[in-house]
Structure 1
Amino acid sequence: MSSKHQLLTFVSLLETNKPYLVNCVRIPALQSLLLFSRSLDTNGDCSRLVADSWLELKLTDSESAVQLLAASLRLRTHWEDALDQQLSHQAWRQRQRQEEEEEEEEEEEKTLSVSHQEVAALSKELLQFMATKVPYSLRRLTSLEAQNLYLGPQTITAAPSVPGLFGNFTLSPHPTKGGYIVTDFLTYNCLTSDTDLYSDCLRTFWTCPYCGLHLPLTPLERIAHENTCSEVPRDNATGAEEAPAPLQKASALQRPYHCETCHKDFLFTPTEVLRHRRQHM
């Protein structure tokens, strides 16, 4: 178990007589797979994840696993919405250039583009997500394990009652894998498991730190309660008043960096990390 597993990504592909990967960068494995995998499959408590049907991730803490999965769902949704909005904005501008409409319509253009505040907020959330440290294991599935990976179609099609666990997404049974379809890339509780059949139903007494509710709950029920608890402080009120931090210019060598001295998150190259550390000496 480690929180330092990494994957290798590249910025561009150079094709000559042979293809070459250019500007290769190491990135955190767990967070990257949660954000960019074409398919994600989980077991009942989300402590076991399979990305693209060949990479297996196991987390020791099921609560941390569910929280990371819920955060990745939220980030992927916001990211996709921002991209769709920006592409629609670009298409609108091209149509306006061709049609040469009146100047009054230029005011409408501001409502179509993604604001700098939204981009800054999304960038900050992505940096915080990538800097999360959770111990987990990463390995490649064997061909035999890949063949016996899924539960298969289930006779009981009723979706589990976990309000707020996956946001506003509705769960529907998967016709081939089993489990439940959450999004076009996420299937919940479709992986086979060697654990006890009653392990997902075991409850322990837990007290909500916000409303004081004291009940025996499973890890999934705890997180579902925290997501729907009316006493949980919301960041919307304070976040709207704070001015977003200025965006940093992206670079292929930049990586998320959390400074333990000033307790801030940055996007730095190795040289910039050393320069920032010298400021605190």
Structure 2
Amino acid sequence: MKYSPPEIRTVEVTRYVTPLREGGSLPAIVEADDEFLYVLKFRGAGQGVKALIAELIAGELARALGFQVPEIVFATLDESFGRTEPDEEIQDLLRFSEGLNLGLHYLSGSITFDALVTTVDATLASQIVWFDCLITNVDRTPRNTNMLMWHKELWLIDHGASFYFHHSWPNVEEQAKRPFVQVKDHVLLPQASELDTVDTAFRTILSPERIRSIVALIPEDWLTSDSPFETADEHRAAYVQFLETRLAHTENFIKEAQHARKALI
């Protein structure tokens, strides 16, 4: 089957519905001009566009691997949008977030995944653990699973804390080869007994072409805002380099995860 690059729709935010006061980023539920509700991640929040880039890359990688992930959209926030907002903190956030932000389709009626209530089989658990090791996602713990149950299916959400190396941009090659020691806290690690099998299948799916097409989705102005690189192309290439190098050395994070799992069971 011929590979089709992912496409991201752009919507315009028309109504601020309610804040989601979780963590420091102050995401919110908003309505857009397509009349759908979205969880909006603001470029003006604490981690800035880096969190949006992580959310975009990780979300589309997850979708490519077959996980259930809410639709991701680019969401435009007009400069006049926050003028009627009475909360000063939210008003400032809206003002600093004018332009292109990132939204995820709001899964109305979903409930937070609870590992004590819902059993995840070894294959799916291994797939999610492998994926989080790839993207260095520190936010899939028992305290904060960042997974939802919606229509009896497991959905992955909130990947803004992934790719934490890009907050300082140290040696990309070195960072890509490192094991993911935080996997010891992963909520699904005890069930993840099939990492080697998953590794073979997932490395085949994440071809260089697919990696480049996902990274190509990053808006240029997100890559030129407070960037250590001279051009957006150089910045984009660094993300590609990280992912391709990490995929070539998955044994490093698989061994770390297997050792951590043995310590648990």
Give the number of the structure whose alpha-carbon radius of gyration is greater. Answer: 1
Structure with the bigger percentage of helix: 2
TM-score between both structures, scaled by the size of structure 2: 0.26
TM-score of the two chains, using structure 1 as the length reference:
0.25
